[in-house]
Amino acid sequence: MSKSPNVIFQKATVTRLRREIQNGHKSINIWFTGLSGSGKSTLAHAVEERLHVMGCRTYVFDGDNVRHGLCSDLDFSRSDRAENLRRIAEMVKLFLDAGIISLTAFISPLEEDRKKVKEIIGPDDLIEIYCNCPIEVCEKRDVKGLYKKARMGIIKNYTGISSPYEPPENPDIELFTHRQSEDECLEIIVGELIERGIILKPEVS
């Protein structure tokens, strides 16, 4: 129940559909989940670059960047992680209404939290992409040294080490980022957007 019962939702005359028509594409959320180092942010920005070149209106929500602002008051406890994702899901809803293709790169380790995200955003407005990568490979890619600190006990509640990661049971797309190239993953994602009618297939000149 809302904590602000006297706040009334204001309907706009400029609708999501009108914005989508103006943008030349539909809005959607592409939600990347996976261990730290599995390639979520890399792929999110690669997809955004491709879509931007195609003339699409896009925005990437990156886990670290969001923690610097919108969710800077949250820690990595179970409850705060859930609240972090709830805030992002609500923000995504606004971007969907704005007619924008949003890309969200978050570990989002628990199935329960991902289900709540889908409930907020809407299952038809979210494409869940699981970046499946063995933790051994993720640790080798760990340029920030976070896994090492977690192994030493310096960082608590680190996903994959001292905190669990529950793989999605039925993701829309599963990418094996330790053996599929960035270009291969990129083509799969863009192909999904074309197949769903979110964007138009580029014309061959």
CA–CA separation, 204 vs 121, rounded Å?
A: 34
Q: What is the pLDDT of residue 76?
A: 75
- Nearest Cα to 110, choosing from 132, 136, 78? 78
**Measured CA distances, 146 to 108, 176, 200 (Å):** 17, 22, 40
H/E stretch holding 67: helix 63-68
pLDDT given at position 62 = 81
How many CB atoms sit inside 10 A of residue 5's CB?
7
Q: pLDDT digit string (tens) for 12-41?
A: 789 999 999 999 999 999 999 999 999 999
* Residue that the structure tokens 């061959």 belong to: 204
Look-up of token digits 């539909």: 26
All structural domains of the chain = 16-188 (3.40.50.300)
Phi-psi map region of 66: left, alpha, beta (phi>0 left; psi -120 to 50 alpha): alpha
Which stretches of the chain drop beneath a pLDDT of 70?
1-10, 63-64, 66-70, 204-205
Query: Cβ(177)–Cβ(131) under 8 Å?
Result: yes
Active site residues: 108
User: What pLDDT does residue 112 have?
Assistant: 96
